[in-house]
Amino acid sequence: MKKFMNSAETLVAESLAGFVAAHERLVTFGADRKFVRRRTLRPGKVALISGGGAGHEPMHIGFVGQGMLDAACTGHVFTSPTPDQIVAAIDETDSGAGCLLVVKNYDGDVMNFEMAAELAASGHRIATVTVRDDVNSGGSGRSQGRRGVAGTLVVEKLLGAAAEAGWLLDDLGALGEELNGRIRTMGVSLRGVTVPDTERQTFVLADDEMELGVGIHGEPGRARAKFATAHEIVGTIVEEIVKDLLPGRDDRLLVFVNGFGGTPVSELYLAYNAARLHCESLGLTVARSLVGTYVTSLDMAGLSITLARLEERELSFWDAPVDTAALRWGAHCTFP
């Protein structure tokens, strides 16, 4: 395995240092470099904090900024941040309106964010949203129930806009729970990933195979299948999501095609084209789109498709200004 790194022990810290230096107008390190936070916090606003293992970049650090997260805590590769990191982020970003923790549904993340919430409870009001957007997992691998995958970006964008609009902590928590019923994701991998520490591939695929329903830690999915055309692969994914999400003809859909790290942007746009056409052929309305490499699994080749059913309120939150390293629109965007 060839990776640009100096040692497995220091790779996360060095990558974070590069990120903060490259985006110093947007973000800064929190105390003791335990987390990355918005350079300018907004007093009176509920603080949004997320985090998880490294290896999913630009999530979550790339979502820190106006209209999205106030802080992101990064653990080691595919390893939850510690409660200590999360408590430090709560202490530094809560300006009195409380903290909303956005957690992907993996056992390690859930446990450490819960522990942090308990440790910080005496001094802070805290609510937690646990994201569960994967159509596939149903308890496999590292999670109880559906995993939190690329749909986490959508949850963080919508809740970030609501927080910026002055929503209160409890209302944000309730919106987060509601969003869990409106967002579904399914992924496909063309190649397993190798974790830097272990030098072991999560799974090995033949030249003509793909893994459907893969997770963002390279967990095997629900089925191994013969590789096929983009039309067929995307069609299968969209059908599986639609079966689960049950969008109506009146729903307005966000279609989000997300690269896992090793897939070129040209293929993502081609997949988006196929997804849009497939949705339209089902009589569904594609109202918004996002295409890019946002929620990754190291350099895994593959992509996920997320569909979200948005009503007027969610559409306005999606369109609201955002100014982060990875996502930026509707605002006077910061020079990097």
Q: Cβ closer to its own copies: 10 or 144?
A: 10
Q: Cβ closer to its own copies: 54 or 120?
A: 54
Contacts to its own copies from residues 200-219, by CB under 8 A:
207-208, 210
Residue 217 Cβ vs its own copies, minimum distance, rounded to whole Å: 14
Contacting residue, 296, 304, 306, 324, with its own copies by CB under 8 A = 296
Q: 328-329 and 322-324: which strand pairing?
A: antiparallel
Contact flag: residue 328 with its own copies (CB under 8 A):
yes
Residue 119 Cβ vs its own copies, minimum distance, rounded to whole Å: 28
List Cα–Cα distances, 29 to 10, 37, 275, in angstroms: 16, 6, 38
Contact flag: residue 226 with its own copies (CB under 8 A):
no
Which of the stretches 15-23, 122-130, 154-162, 176-184 binds its own copies when contact is defined by CB under 8 A? 15-23
Residue 303 Cβ vs its own copies, minimum distance, rounded to whole Å: 7
List Cα–Cα distances, 115 to 121, 145, 158, 309, in angstroms: 10, 20, 25, 32
Residue 121 Cβ vs its own copies, minimum distance, rounded to whole Å: 33
Using CA atoms, how far apart are residues 325 and 317, in angstroms rounded to an integer?
19
181: number of Cβ within 10 Å: 10
Contacts to its own copies from residues 161-190, by CB under 8 A:
190
Contact flag: residue 305 with its own copies (CB under 8 A):
no
Query: Is 56 a catalytic site residue?
Result: yes
Query: Is 60 a catalytic site residue?
Result: no
Q: Cβ closer to its own copies: 98 or 261?
A: 261
Which of the stretches 28-36, 104-112, 169-177, 289-297 binds its own copies when contact is defined by CB under 8 A? 289-297
How many of the chain's residues bind its own copies (CB under 8 A)? 67
Using CA atoms, how far apart are residues 19 and 25, in angstroms rounded to an integer?
11
Three-point CA angle 126, 131, 132, nearest 5°: 145
Q: Looking at 56, 60, 76, 278, which residue is catalytic?
A: 56
User: Which amino acid makes up residue 167?
Assistant: W
Sheet holding 209-212, edge to edge: 223-226, 209-212, 183-189, 302-310, 252-259, 285-292
Helix (H) / strand (E) element for 192: namely: none
Contacting residue, 49, 51, 52, 57, with its own copies by CB under 8 A = 57
Using CA atoms, how far apart are residues 297 and 312, in angstroms rounded to an integer?
32
Three-point CA angle 110, 111, 112, nearest 5°: 95
Contacting residue, 194, 249, 273, 311, with its own copies by CB under 8 A = 273
List Cα–Cα distances, 136 to 187, 204, 215, 240, 319, in angstroms: 9, 20, 9, 9, 29
Residue 286 Cβ vs its own copies, minimum distance, rounded to whole Å: 8
DSSP summary character for residue 241: H
Interface with its own copies (CB under 8 A): 1-7, 11-12, 14-19, 21-22, 54-55, 57-58, 62, 190-191, 207-208, 210, 227, 229-231, 233-234, 261-274, 276, 289-291, 293, 296, 298-299, 301, 303, 319, 328-336
- Which sequence positions are flagged as catalytic? 56, 217
